[in-house]
Chains A and B, each alone.
Chain A
């Protein structure tokens, strides 16, 4: 299957700093990418949907000014957690959908574990 690479796989940062997470589709062009967040012992919650070249669509309750999403190319989307706080510590995972139409499979990255201290 297609490969989605997420980087870094884990990161520790100080409270108040910003962290950027990258999501790359390695062998296909992704018109749409999704960002999810998973708190301990909970399921994945969709944060936002990003389409290449346009603004991301955020789910209710997700602060767009805190979680900046950029999808500047068909193979790269980035999530920047701005002014991170300990409550932002979580597992973040992206998925990417190719250009093959409605039933194109969504492929998931391996996730990034963020710890804010």
Chain B
């Protein structure tokens, strides 16, 4: 059974700092891995999607990597801003059944 773990559970950083969010998964038989952002009381915003054959994806200040063999992904946020404050969710889509399994998320607070 796929399990997705995110570390840290919460993170507070000063504005401008570069930071890394970690995601690990137990079953490497995945189709893709996706990072989402969720603001309080809101739905999901997709940030980056990495297919199983890819190693990384970049969008603006965000860079996500995938190491399928070790079951790890990282989300790198450069030059953090207060507007980046949100919960970041890592989600893994399994082969067979197409299920997407979510991690518990990392709550990020960027201080001005």
Report whether chain A binds chain B: yes
Residue of B51, B100, B103 touching A34 (CB-CB under 8 A):
B100
Size category of the B interface is 20 to 34
- In the complex the two chains form, what is the Cα distance from A66 to B103 in whole Å? 26
> Which of B46, B89, B98, B103 makes the CB contact (< 8 A) with A1?
B46
State the CA gap A81–B99 with chains docked (Å).
22
CB-defined contacts of B102 to chain A, threshold 8 Å:
36, 43-45
Q: Is the CB of A95 within 8 A of B32?
A: no
Task: Select which of B43, B91, B97 is within 8 A of A49 by beta carbon.
Answer: B97
The smallest C-beta distance from A76 to any residue of chain B, in angstroms, reads 18
Please give the residue numbers on chain A whose beta carbons come within 8 Å of chain B beta carbons, in ascending order.
1, 6, 32, 34, 36, 42-46, 49, 93, 95, 97, 102-103, 105-111, 113
Enumerate the 8 nearest inter-chain pairs by beta-carbon distance, A residue then B residue, closest first. A110-B43, A111-B43, A43-B104, A44-B102, A43-B102, A108-B44, A43-B105, A97-B98
